[in-house]
Amino acid sequence: MHGEYKVPGGKLVVVDVDAEDGVLRRVRVAGDFFLEPDEALDAMNGALEGAPADTDAAGLAARVEAALPTGTVMYGLTAEGVAIAVRRALAHATDWTDYAWQLIHEGPQSPALHMALDEVLTAEVAAGRRPPTLRVWEWAAPSVIIGSFQSLRNEVDPQGAARHGVEVVRRISGGGAMFVEPGNTITYSLSVPESLVQGLSFQDSYAYLDDWVLGALGDMGIRAWYQPLNDIATDQGKIAGAAQKRIVGPGGAPGAVLHHVTMSYDIDAGKMVEVLRIGREKLSDKGTGSAKKRVDPLRRQTGLPREAVIDRMIESFRARYGLAQGEITDAELARAEELARTKFTSAQWTARVP
């Protein structure tokens, strides 16, 4: 069995292992990491050899840590990363490059339709009718998107939303509220087979699925990092938030994961605090003391137009994993439009947590 794991902000760890009679055999750790002394690699392999195959990642990491020679130095590598690579091997996890990725980047669409497309496209991936998909959103109207479990009245000021013509929708994933206007954010979704994150904890799956965009930002001169559980940050503060939803496949078969991210490009902070009840608290982690300022970390840090940032992100993904141009099928669009009408614009869904 073969497992791979890219340590967030680090290097690739590869593990080849067999499982016989419920224990690990012939464990071989490799990768492009740096490790001193050389004997530490044999120590890792030895620590994992004979371990019960059902040992969780924390238990495997503890075995590795305990076996390392005194003074071991690891660069781009962690004991946890080795353990996760083992778990991914045992779970028969797939890798990014195992798939023919498809890009969807179409014209502006309504907030409710975006919510529906996330659900429909991820369900299609779960059913095996659609390849793994990167979808970049364009917004047709300003919106507040609240998390699946948030209280509508606690998050949104209805008078402020009405005054600014802001549509309020609820998404299928958890997490916090987002305030968007056309041109002020960069939002994308990944709809991926569950096998891509097999062997990863819920938290580790966020870091794993965010890793490519950290590389894309790095290509633009921005040093960014994953900040548990679901944020992307730089030394200027938080610049993005992610959310996930698991969708089960037909008949309870392994399904798909929706992972979507909204990145701050240029936000009207004054308007945001009039629409979101907790807007002032949201500004505190962006280093903004006055609500009358604009929050523009990506515009300021890249010096690039929003469209150029998106283009560079797409090209970075394509260079890493391959990416073919795709489109939403007529059947997918029809189903999404039905969901937008019957679910995502309904008071029953939007106010399901009043």
* Cβ(146)–Cβ(152) below 8 Å: yes
pLDDT band at 290 (very low <50, low <70, confident <90, very high): very low
- The per-residue pLDDT for 291 is 42
Closest CA to 274 of 157, 123, 134: 157
Cα–Cα distance for residue pair 330/320, rounded to 1 Å: 30
pLDDT band at 297 (very low <50, low <70, confident <90, very high): confident
Cα–Cα distance for residue pair 187/306, rounded to 1 Å: 11
Q: Determine whether 290 is exposed, middle or buried from the number of CB atoms within 10 Å of its CB (0-12, 13-18, 19+).
A: exposed
The average pLDDT across 188-216 equals 94
Cα–Cα distance for residue pair 312/58, rounded to 1 Å: 37
Q: What SS3 state is found at 73?
A: strand
What count of other Cβ atoms lies within 10 Å of the Cβ of residue 165?
A: 10
Cα–Cα distance for residue pair 283/270, rounded to 1 Å: 10
Query: Does residue 289 carry a pLDDT above 50?
Result: no
The average pLDDT across 261-271 equals 91
* Cβ(94)–Cβ(193) below 8 Å: yes
Q: Is 175 left (phi over 0), alpha (psi -120 to 50) or beta?
A: left
Which amino acid appears at position 164 of this protein?
A: H
Taking only the tens place, the pLDDT of each residue in 305-334 is 999 999 999 999 999 999 999 999 999 999
- The per-residue pLDDT for 30 is 98
- The per-residue pLDDT for 288 is 43
pLDDT band at 88 (very low <50, low <70, confident <90, very high): very high
Q: Which range is most confident: 139-148, 223-232, 276-285?
A: 139-148
Phi, psi of 271 (to 5 degrees): -70, -40
Closest CA to 175 of 274, 238, 234, 241: 241
* Cβ(209)–Cβ(302) below 8 Å: no
CA distances from 295 to 101, 133, 269, 309 (A): 32, 29, 6, 16
Q: From the CA atom positions of the chain, what is the Rg in Å?
A: 22
DSSP 300: H
Q: The tokens 């590795």 sit on which residue?
A: 64
- The per-residue pLDDT for 253 is 79
Question: In this predicted structure, which of 232-236, 288-292, 333-337 has the lowest mean pLDDT?
Answer: 288-292
User: Which alpha helices (H) appear in 30-92, and where do they start and end?
Assistant: 39-48, 57-67, 79-90
Phi, psi of 15 (to 5 degrees): -130, 130
Query: Does residue 303 carry a pLDDT above 50?
Result: yes
Which structure tokens are listed for 282? 């949201």
Closest CA to 84 of 113, 126, 125, 55: 55
Summary mean pLDDT of the chain: 93
Cα–Cα distance for residue pair 23/55, rounded to 1 Å: 9
Cα–Cα distance for residue pair 118/145, rounded to 1 Å: 13
pLDDT band at 2 (very low <50, low <70, confident <90, very high): very high
Q: What's the number of CA atoms in the CB half-sphere (13 Å) around residue 53?
A: 16
pLDDT band at 296 (very low <50, low <70, confident <90, very high): low
Query: Does residue 267 carry a pLDDT above 90?
Result: no
The percent of residues above 90 in pLDDT, for the chain, comes to: 85
* Cβ(226)–Cβ(214) below 8 Å: yes
pLDDT band at 235 (very low <50, low <70, confident <90, very high): confident
- The per-residue pLDDT for 278 is 75
Cα–Cα distance for residue pair 168/156, rounded to 1 Å: 8
Taking only the tens place, the pLDDT of each residue in 9-64 is 889 999 999 999 999 999 999 999 999 999 999 999 999 999 999 999 999 999 99
* Cβ(258)–Cβ(189) below 8 Å: yes
Report whether the peptide linkage leading into residue 229 is cis, meaning its omega lies within 30 degrees of zero.
yes
The average pLDDT across 212-228 equals 93
How far from chain centre, in Å, is Cα 61? 24
- The per-residue pLDDT for 287 is 46
Taking only the tens place, the pLDDT of each residue in 50-77 is 999 999 999 999 999 999 999 999 999 9
- The per-residue pLDDT for 281 is 53
Cα–Cα distance for residue pair 104/133, rounded to 1 Å: 7
Query: Does residue 292 carry a pLDDT above 80?
Result: no
